[in-house]
């Protein structure tokens, strides 16, 4: 692969083929080498299976799980869950992203409403806790206190609206959690259904080749930014035409000459 990359990029005038080669070698050191050793040792199908995370308190080892189903934590050494999602459950992921957008909107509306009505003489000020936070408990408690007060209509309306916004945010968050949990379950089950051919496609094309391609794109982007910066620098340096600079020099030369004559240095 490395020799092929060097050959393919050797004729490009701007990209250094060895910069591309280094990108491959870095990926080999960081990821691909471990994958290859794992496949060679266990085979494609076995290497792709999820396993439990390693936790050793004495050695202070605690792996970060790639997938958590209830209290069960899994590590996917060869095929990250994101690759399974992208290839087989893109629609589910799109649904979750839409729900996340709704959650963000609900959170923002609540935050803006609370910010608007807290502070000195704010309608929610009496519903805050000791830390100055507005909570559902604080709001509902305050509503009960002022329930029969005839002069508290405005505050009551604000508190009622706040309860609605808190409820909307809670429902949106729950929808995201439930959908994500359902997707995680599907992903875990799908690992057991993968054929060896599907595993090879996921690893070689979706993981290795996609990562190397992204690294090469990053190298191209780095070069592009460097060239753009250089062009901007040259543009700023040569923005003024030479005749204009020469006229300016003549003007300053005349002024200097005039000062020297006044000083008696020039006759």
**pTM above the 0.85 mark?**
no
Please state the domain count of the chain. Answer: 3
Distance from C-alpha of 80 to C-alpha of 50, rounded to nearest angstrom: 9
Q: Are residues 100 and 141 in the same domain?
A: yes
pLDDT score, position 259: 66
Q: Is the dihedral of CA 97, 98, 99, 104 positive or negative?
A: positive
Q: Are residues 117 and 136 in the same domain?
A: yes
- 136: in domain: yes
Strand arrangement of the beta sheet that strand 67-69 belongs to: 51-52, 72-75, 67-69
- Closest listed residue to residue 20, CA positions, set 7, 34, 36: 7
Write out pLDDT tens, residues 109-145: 999 999 999 877 788 888 888 888 899 999 999 999 9
Which range of residues forms the domain containing residue 167? 91-179
Q: Are residues 24 and 43 in the same domain?
A: yes
Q: Are residues 175 and 204 in the same domain?
A: no
- 137: in domain: yes
Which residues, in sequence order, are bridge partners of residue 208?
none
pLDDT score, position 263: 67
- Closest listed residue to residue 47, CA positions, set 78, 16, 21: 78
Q: Are residues 113 and 164 in the same domain?
A: yes
- 187: in domain: no
Q: Are residues 8 and 71 in the same domain?
A: yes
The rounded Cα 147 to chain-centroid distance in angstroms is: 46
Which residues, in sequence order, are bridge partners of residue 69?
72
Write out pLDDT tens, residues 57-76: 777 788 899 999 988 999 99
Phi, psi of 56 (to 5 degrees): -135, 100
Write out pLDDT tens, residues 220-264: 888 888 888 888 888 777 777 777 777 888 887 888 777 667 766
267 pLDDT band, cuts 50/70/90, is low
């Amino acid at each position: 692969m490395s020799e092929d990359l060097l050959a393919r990029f050797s004729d490009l005038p701007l990209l250094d083929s060895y910069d591309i080669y280094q990108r491959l070698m870095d990926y080999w050191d960081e990821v691909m080498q471990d994958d290859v050793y794992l496949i060679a040792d266990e085979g494609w199908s076995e290497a792709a299976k999820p396993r439990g995370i390693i936790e050793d308190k004495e050695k202070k080892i605690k792996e970060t799980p790639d997938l958590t189903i209830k209290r069960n934590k899994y590590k996917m050494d060869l095929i990250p869950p994101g690759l399974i999602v992208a290839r087989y459950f893109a629609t589910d992921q799109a649904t979750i992203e839409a729900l996340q957008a709704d959650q963000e909107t609900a959170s923002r509306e609540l935050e803006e409403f609370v910010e608007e009505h807290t502070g000195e003489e704010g309608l929610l000020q009496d519903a805050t806790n000791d830390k100055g936070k507005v909570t559902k408990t604080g709001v509902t408690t305050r509503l009960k206190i002022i329930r029969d007060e005839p002069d508290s209509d405005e505050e009551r309306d604000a508190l009622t609206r706040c309860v609605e916004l808190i409820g909307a945010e809670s429902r949106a968050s729950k929808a995201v959690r439930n959908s994500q949990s359902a997707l995680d379950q599907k992903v875990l089950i799908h690992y057991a259904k993968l054929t060896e051919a599907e595993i090879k496609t996921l690893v070689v094309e979706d993981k290795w080749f996609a990562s190397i391609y992204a690294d090469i794109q990053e190298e191209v982007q780095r070069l592009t930014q460097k060239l753009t910066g250089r062009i901007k620098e040259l543009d700023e340096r040569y923005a003024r035409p030479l005749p204009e600079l020469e006229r300016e020099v003549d003007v300053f030369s005349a002024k200097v000459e005039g000062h020297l004559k006044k000083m008696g240095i020039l006759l």
